[in-house]
Structure 1
């Protein structure tokens, strides 16, 4: 029994140092970084749609049989190019008939003038009556009016003959033709013969909520307003479009249904190098396509940028934990701006120079004392990379 008690006493005394290792620990180790200002390009994203600056529906101005189509669907055309031809002979005949009516009216007018001169002569000699003179004057005026009407009919017939060649009013790309030669066309057709949309430049139209519009105005008003920003787009597959645009129009009214404001920007749409004109995909921007619109400042501004992981959120909003002079974590509410990859811009809440905790946040509570070290540095007591492992503790002697 004495030997057993002595063995237990020795065991407990030997275990005392091991139990001491599980005593209270020190402040949690955290990684901190300095909230420093750096150049940042401010930008805001919206959803937009590409629009052609000019868009024209091609329609016939006269009724007739469509004789010829002179273009390939999808090609680019110039202003003044002939697109369709309507059968000409009926309109040429109408023009000749109108000219014949002019000749007849001229003969009638000359005869009326001769009769008027005779009536005046007779009336001056007393052989003619006043009634006869008045009738001759009326007939002369009527013949003159008939001639003017016939001459106007010639101009109308000539104009209608010119309308048999349907011309392009603008430069642009022409779409599909709705009718083929042989069909009767007229101004009353509900569907246009074709549609032409201009290609360069293009417009990008997007809507901005009233709140976002107010924020953009407050941000750029002192820097020059719309001239202080550029507009960039990303295509539907995520590729950035290389050309930048400028805002050309801001609507004067807010849409009452959506509480949003329409903004339009002009953006170049040059032909891609190495692609034949009029070929499919010769220009990157197409009328009607959806794009992501980015409104960004011309010049970068100084702003605080933190890792997104350093920002926490609760019911009170976004906040960070900063280490004060007493090495205690203090909560600081922040207002965030745009996200750049895995980082976020802090627009308000930090003055710069604060030591913000970016690593080990899960072990810290506001007001708690911490053991700060530069973010990315190994924790205290950690073995440096490449250092040999510690030698094993010597084995105890057997009793």
Structure 2
């Protein structure tokens, strides 16, 4: 009996279809010279099963942090600074003392106006007493009408002088109060612009210090004008939440609410400006800071999401590899609504409970048989894929 031999020939054919390579194995019987194709080896991949969940829909824009109020603390009088009562960068409340101007000249002016008022008051008291006596004498025929009229005029003149004195006293008291430079708002002090011993003037351009209110605070950001109808529709239902993130979108800074949609569209950029208010109790938002604003438009119930790594870009747009019941994969075009935190919300193209490949796509082509990796093997395959993608 002739001895049968089997020759196993491995033909490796690298095909640039789908960016992968297919390996075909054939077994050739030397007696019949018939080639029998063997199943191609399964491609190891990492996959996940799609599930539905409530997915927040965000509109994202770049914004600038704007202080509610910024005040340059200036003096309303001229004088020498005798005391600085704050530290640069210190939180202050409205009415807190920031600096003291030498009050002695203004106290002396107040004392002088008070003394003048007291003198005029004494003269008025005497004139009123004389008027009373002249009136009594006039009733008895011992005083002329002219004398009575003169005395009445003197009393009226002194009464007017006292009113003027009272006004001067009030003005002097205000001037004396101006020697105390206080914060008009609650906020954070900036860099001090003048030192103790210097003369401060009302015309000084930099004043004493700038106080900036940072709690609460605002962010002004822009979005494409095409988003305006959706924003107006959701605003009609209630307040919209806005999240502020750092420029790299990794650090959440604060949560606030949308306060204003600007009353005009910027024609040069085709965008609309919006203003959001934040409590900023942690002082993580700082005036002038650039941040990313995420406007929560709505929460979609039963949304289909996949890992962002599952979505590939092809000549016809985004697609994924879907694993079928027979263990092979097929390309499926999808529509991505948004990407957030490494997950893509799929608007169309996928259904719940389907399985998609999230790593290892570079070795696949339509119809490839796959082996689903899990646990440690999946992590190792992800690492290998990362290395392969990094190689030019």
Q: TM-score, normalised by structure 1?
A: 0.67
**Alignment partner of 2:204: what SS?**
coil
CA contact (8 A) 1:64 1:185 kept: yes
Q: Which of 180-189 and 137-146 deviates more?
A: 180-189
Q: Deviations over 1:170-200 (max 9, x none)?
A: 4432111111122222333222210122344
- Structure with the largest fraction of strand: 2
CA contact (8 A) 1:102 1:150 kept: yes
Match of 2:8 in 1: none
- 1:151 and 2:184 are equivalent in the alignment: no
Q: Which of 60-69 and 290-299 deviates more?
A: 290-299
Displacement of 1:297 in angstroms is: 7.1
Identify the match of residue 137 of structure 1 among 142, 152, 158.
152
Unaligned runs of 5+ in 1: 1-12, 271-282, 365-369, 378-384, 386-399
Partner Cα distance (2:311, 2:371) in 1: 11
Match of 2:132 in 1: 117
Partner Cα distance (2:284, 2:372) in 1: 44
Displacement of 1:309 in angstroms is: 4.9
CA contact (8 A) 2:58 2:298 kept: no
Match of 2:114 in 1: 99
Identify the match of residue 58 of structure 1 among 58, 73, 91.
73
Decide whether aligned partners of structure 1 residues 256 and 244 sit closer, same or farther in structure 2, where only a CA change above 3 A counts: closer
Q: Which of 41-50 and 82-91 deviates more?
A: 41-50
Displacement of 1:131 in angstroms is: 4.3
Displacement of 1:50 in angstroms is: 2.8
Q: Deviations over 1:66-90 (max 9, x none)?
A: 2221222222334433211111110
Partner Cα distance (1:213, 1:165) in 2: 49
Decide whether aligned partners of structure 1 residues 361 and 176 sit closer, same or farther in structure 2, where only a CA change above 3 A counts: closer
Match of 2:376 in 1: none
Partner Cα distance (2:103, 2:183) in 1: 19
Match of 1:286 in 2: 286
Partner Cα distance (2:114, 2:179) in 1: 19
CA contact (8 A) 2:98 2:183 kept: yes
Identify the match of residue 89 of structure 1 among 88, 95, 104.
104
Matches within 5 A, 1:191-206: 191-206=206-221
Decide whether aligned partners of structure 1 residues 163 and 174 sit closer, same or farther in structure 2, where only a CA change above 3 A counts: same
Partner Cα distance (1:91, 1:15) in 2: 123
Identify the match of residue 256 of structure 2 among 240, 246, 254.
246
CA contact (8 A) 1:323 1:330 kept: no
CA contact (8 A) 1:204 1:267 kept: no
Match of 1:278 in 2: none
CA contact (8 A) 1:232 1:244 kept: yes
- 1:338 and 2:339 are equivalent in the alignment: yes
Partner Cα distance (2:278, 2:61) in 1: 16
Displacement of 1:91 in angstroms is: 0.6
Decide whether aligned partners of structure 1 residues 225 and 349 sit closer, same or farther in structure 2, where only a CA change above 3 A counts: farther
CA contact (8 A) 1:42 1:338 kept: no
Partner Cα distance (1:30, 1:249) in 2: 51
Displacement of 1:54 in angstroms is: 4.2
**Alignment partner of 1:215: what SS?**
helix
CA contact (8 A) 2:317 2:333 kept: no
- 1:226 and 2:239 are equivalent in the alignment: yes
**Alignment partner of 1:195: what SS?**
strand
Between Structure 1 and Structure 2, how many residues are aligned? 339
Displacement of 1:144 in angstroms is: 0.4
Identify the match of residue 371 of structure 1 among 348, 362, 367.
367
Match of 1:168 in 2: 183
Q: Deviations over 1:226-251 (max 9, x none)?
A: 25x352422x566514x642205123
Displacement of 1:150 in angstroms is: 0.3
CA contact (8 A) 1:44 1:338 kept: no
Unaligned runs of 5+ in 2: 1-28, 374-380, 382-392
**Alignment partner of 2:264: what SS?**
coil
Q: TM-score, normalised by structure 2?
A: 0.68
